[in-house]
Amino acid sequence: MTSGEPVGDLLRSLTPRVLGALVRRHGDFARCEDAVQEALIDAAQAWSRDGVPEHPLGWLVTVAGRRYVDLVRSDAARQRREQAVFDAVPRDELLAPPPDAEPARDDLLELLFLCCHPALTAPAQMALTLRAVAGLTTAEIAAAFLVPDKTMGQRISRAKQRLLEAGARFELPADRDRALTVVLHVLYLLFNEGYSASAGPRLHRPDLTAQALRLTRQLHERLPDSGETAGLLALMLLTEARAAARTGPDGELVPLADQDRSRWDRALIAEGTDLVTRSLAAHPAGPYQVQAAIAAVHCEAATAEETDWPQVLALYDVLERLAPGAVTALNRAVALGEVHGPRAALDVVAGLERGALAGHHRLLAVRGHLLERAGDRAAASEAFRQAARLAGTVPEQRFLLLRAARCASAEDFSATT
């Protein structure tokens, strides 16, 4: 653990590796997750009291292994069926070896593909992966899917039970292409939750973006011929390059147009731009590659005024054909407003208000932005206030309320002059 790193942050970072080690060893996803959760409780108490052990990962795997043994032995409903197999295995084999007894192994990708098992529906695959690999809470995952917390909790429970019934094994699938689309979407959601948190006091959760980037790099290394894997990695790099400029000294949100571009990470921009350029040259365009190309256009502009908005709009037109959806349409509306004026974009937003984004704070924020540009400051102020009430993070709420106040002040000034 680095100096000053809270025990909770360390446990969060180690949880997926511990779960992966147990599932690889025992294959029982549901029990392994329960055992890991009990080990985390033990660690939180012991480490806060006695300090972090020399080998925290080995400590957790050992304790989780013991908890797994206890869970198996105490399961009366399955005791008859499992007892013969369980008693035949020496207890030492069920426990983790000492931390230095076997080479370090990262099981995250195997765990990722297990969560995307074909026996599960696509929504269940994504939800389970975000829960098991990323360690997101049920509420955070529910926000990502725009569904109630209770619905998401039931979906995750059913997914774990379905894995058990299907006899899912801890290994990379033979037909990876079938699972890859879902895996990429999961990593995309994971990165987005880290880059723009759905709730809480912080806008940015670098632990999640770092994990998403690491996993996507590993996936790209294993599947170098996948154009969309390269596209997703490029998109993450180009987006993360702007992270330092997205917030001010007090954690306040700084929109793209107002960011200090000297704070952008030029090394990440160069890597991402090169990656998407080579990917588009070698593979048919896919949604992630096109999104990465859009991000590259923004990163190439030295100032907000120099942004090539016609090119951005053209790329969104391509993206809508490849992956139509409410979020894509909303982002395209922003580009449309820059090219053809806010009124044209407001017509598009009005149509989206009856769809999946109805009542979502991002749609209201875009509506406020377009109304402000169109000169209707009173309506813009009300839209920003509505968006602030629905926003999940404190920085977004404050930013939207400031925009609302600015529009109201401008309206009051114009009314008195």
pLDDT of 397 > 80? The answer is yes
174-to-113, 184, 258 alpha-carbon distances in Å? 11, 17, 48
Cα–Cα distance, 165 to 5 (Å, whole number)? 40
Cβ atoms of 366 and 342 within 8 Å: the answer is no
Instruction: Please tell me what DSSP assigns to residue 248.
Output: -
Quick: pLDDT tens for 110-157: 888 888 888 888 778 878 888 888 777 888 788 766 678 888 888 898
Cα–Cα distance, 270 to 277 (Å, whole number)? 11
pLDDT of 80 > 80? The answer is no
Instruction: Please report which confidence band the pLDDT of residue 75 belongs to, taking 50, 70 and 90 as the band edges.
Output: low
Cβ atoms of 410 and 377 within 8 Å: the answer is yes
Once rounded to an integer, what is the mean pLDDT over residues 39-60?
Answer: 91
Indicate the pTM of the whole model: 0.75
The confidence score (pLDDT) of residue 39 equals 92
Residue count (the chain): 417
Q: How far is CA 417 from the centre of its chain?
A: 48
The confidence score (pLDDT) of residue 366 equals 97
Q: Exposure pattern of 303-315 as b/e (b: 16+ CB <10 Å)?
A: eeeebebeebbeb
Lowest mean pLDDT among 77-86, 152-161, 173-182: 77-86
Looking at every residue in the chain, the average pLDDT score rounds to 86
Using CA atoms of 145, 148, 153, 155 in order, give the dihedral in degrees to the nearest 10.
-60
Quick: pLDDT tens for 306-358: 999 999 999 999 999 999 999 999 999 999 999 999 999 999 999 999 888 98
Cα–Cα distance, 195 to 393 (Å, whole number)? 12
Q: Is residue 319 exposed (0-12), middle (13-18) or buried (19+ Cβ within 10 Å)?
A: buried
Checking 175-183 for CB contacts under 8 A at 24+ apart, the result is 176/113, 176/223, 178/118, 179/113, 179/116, 179/117, 179/118, 180/223, 180/226, 180/228, 180/229, 181/228, 182/116, 182/122, 182/125, 182/126, 183/112, 183/113, 183/116, 183/129, 183/219
The confidence score (pLDDT) of residue 372 equals 95
The confidence score (pLDDT) of residue 4 equals 47
Question: Which residues make Cβ contacts (< 8 Å) with residue 117, sequence separation at least 6?
Answer: 125, 163, 166, 168, 173, 179
Quick: pLDDT tens for 220-273: 988 899 999 999 999 999 999 999 999 988 888 999 999 999 999 999 999 999
Phi-psi region of 236 (alpha: psi -120 to 50; beta: other; left: phi over 0): alpha
The better pLDDT of the pair 241, 190 is held by 241
Lowest mean pLDDT among 13-17, 82-86, 216-220, 359-363: 82-86
Instruction: Please tell me what DSSP assigns to residue 116.
Output: T
- Please report, rounded to a whole number, the percentage of residues in the chain having pLDDT higher than 90: 47
